[in-house]
Amino acid sequence: MKVLFVASECAPFVKTGGLADVIGAVPKTLSELGVSVRVILPAYPALHGITEGGKVVLEIDDLHGGPASLVSVKAEGLDLLLLDAPHLFDRPGNIYLDAGGSDWGDNALRFGALSQVGAKVGLEGIGRWKPDIVHAHDWQAGLIPALLRQAGQDVPASVLTIHNIAFQGLFDAGLCVPLGIDPPMFTPAGAEYFGNLGFLKAGIAFCDRITTVSPTYARELLHPEFGMGLEGILQARRTVLSGILNGIDTDIWNPQTDEALTATYSADLLDGKRKNRAELEKRFDLHADVDGPLFCVVSRLTSQKGLDLLLDALPALVARGGKLAVLGSGDREMESRFIGAAHIYAGSVGVIIGYDEPLSHLMQGGSDAILIPSRFEPCGLTQLYGLRYGTVPVVARTGGLADTVIDANDAAMRAGCATGVQFAPVTAPALEQAIERTCDLYRQPDIWNAMVRRAMSHPVSWEQSARAYLDLYESLSQ
């Protein structure tokens, strides 16, 4: 089985969120199952060092205003095909945004080019390697299924994974011509979205299978509250839609070996967790007492993540003796509200604005609980890291959060299976109650430690989900 992944980010090379973690991890598990996976990725500046060591396997004279090549190289256990097109991807800073924080004006051409090259490799292969399946991820690769469909009968099957339907890639219809989308594809049942060209919509309309990253989100997407305007076409295609839960790379995220921790630890020897907490308290200027739990947040600061609700719930968190460490960046107003909260609750609330991968590991290693009050969450990875690191997830009951955390209600406590705390509806009062329940549980050390150990033994690796992808590929290539 040969599978071509096409995506816009991939850890550890270039990451703005969970998509990168997924693209960096699944191909490795799939290859352990005997699948040959290649990953097409734009050659952003962060990948230049790697590109230099590779082999050019395709040259294009003019890809939307400049020459481009595809460079084949192995790195970090992945078989990469890097799309080297300096006029499109050789830019500093965020891969999607300019210095002012707006989308790059030519994002349609940048990621349209990624989709076009993805479709070309899907159709022609690289040397003798020809994919059976092209697996496109999110809107940036969304045109691929349409480009394959219009190419005729003998084409590889396509799978589209929706990691977040909030990002749809909507652009002027005039771009259909330069991006190679034929007029018959541009209909309301196809690539058109109210007169615009919809990259994600094109993918949904023309792929052979649609997956999203949790079973609950797959159901939620069919409703207007979550479908964000695409619920209609998803309902029409519901027989090919399924949810396959994300996993995590358990080698990179391993509290027994993690070099970013002050002290490593295991479920049997939790001492290290206390040392990590002490280090975090120093880094975030927090009082060093252990009467209450240390909560953390590691997140993009956007309305999706519901962290405005946490700002409203802060008085209750502090009144219960809790402390909070926040690492995040995003919405400017939310950043300054968190910075303000760190002044008001000095010693109890600490905030670092920015993106810091090693610190994100230390936060999982040193916090008692991780707060994820998302309004919607296709899967969410930080609760999975929390489980793995015995950092009790306190989560909104939505999407993948609902599918991965077992709430500490009476039934689950009696059955001995709770791994965290869930709350609904996603409101500040419900979050406050969840925080209070967590503080109460924390003050019963035997019960708390049992829950921490249970969380750490919850299966979070990719194994089961990679098998589910393989089953899906096999069902398409018969």
Spatial contact of 421 and 436, defined as CB atoms under 8 Å apart: no
- Contacts (CB under 6 A) with ligand GLC, residues 105-164: 163-164
Q: Between residues 289 and 357, which has the closer beta carbon with respect to ligand ADP?
A: 357
Q: Between residues 247 and 292, which has the closer beta carbon with respect to ligand GLC?
A: 247
Judged by CB under 6 A, which stretch of 174-182, 197-205, 218-226, 353-361 contacts ligand ADP? 353-361
Type of residue found at 477: S
- Cα–Cα distances (Å) from 255 to 94, 239, 252, 449, in that order, read 30, 40, 9, 16
- Site mask, ligand GLC, residues 179-218, x = CB under 6 A? ----------------------------------x-----
- Site mask, ligand GLC, residues 382-401, x = CB under 6 A? ------------------x-
Asked whether position 357 contacts ligand ADP by CB under 6 A, the answer is: yes
Q: Between residues 78 and 349, which has the closer beta carbon with respect to ligand GLC?
A: 78
- Rounded-to-integer distance, Cα 60 and Cα 62, Å: 6
Spatial contact of 207 and 136, defined as CB atoms under 8 Å apart: yes
Judged by CB under 6 A, which stretch of 71-79, 105-113, 282-290, 297-305 contacts ligand ADP? 297-305
**Can you name the residues that pair with 327 across neighbouring β-strands?**
298, 352
- Contacts (CB under 6 A) with ligand ADP, residues 358-387: 360, 380-382
Q: Which string of DSSP letters, residue by residue, matches 180-217? A: T--GGG-STTTTEETTEEEHHHHHHHH-SEEEES-HHH
The helix/strand/coil state of 475 is helix
Nearest approach in angstroms of CB 325 to ligand ADP is 12
Q: Between residues 21 and 368, which has the closer beta carbon with respect to ligand ADP?
A: 21
Judged by CB under 6 A, which stretch of 84-92, 237-245, 271-279, 349-357 contacts ligand ADP? 349-357
Q: Which residues of 56-82 are buried (b: 16+ CB within 10 A; e: fewer)?
A: eebebeebbeeebbbbbbebeebbbbb
Binder to ligand GLC among 272, 380, 386, 393 (CB under 6 A)?
380
- Cα–Cα distances (Å) from 242 to 3, 82, 156, 221, 468, in that order, read 19, 29, 20, 11, 10
Asked whether position 247 contacts ligand GLC by CB under 6 A, the answer is: no
Q: Between residues 248 and 452, which has the closer beta carbon with respect to ligand GLC?
A: 248
382 touches, from ligand ADP, ligand GLC, none (C-beta below 5 to 8 Å by class): ligand ADP
Classify the C-alpha dihedral 173-179-182-186 as positive or negative.
negative
Strand segments, DSSP code E, in 85-198 are: 133-137, 157-162, 170-171, 192-193, 196-198
- Rounded-to-integer distance, Cα 190 and Cα 203, Å: 9
Q: Between residues 21 and 192, which has the closer beta carbon with respect to ligand GLC?
A: 21
Nearest approach in angstroms of CB 258 to ligand GLC is 20
**Can you name the residues that pair with 209 across neighbouring β-strands?**
159
Judged by CB under 6 A, which stretch of 80-88, 233-241, 323-331, 337-345 contacts ligand ADP? 323-331
**CB within 8 Å of 256: residues ≥ 6 apart:** 264, 265, 266
Asked whether position 17 contacts ligand GLC by CB under 6 A, the answer is: yes
**Contact residues for ligand ADP (CB under 6 A)?**
17-19, 21, 298-300, 327-329, 355-357, 360, 380-382
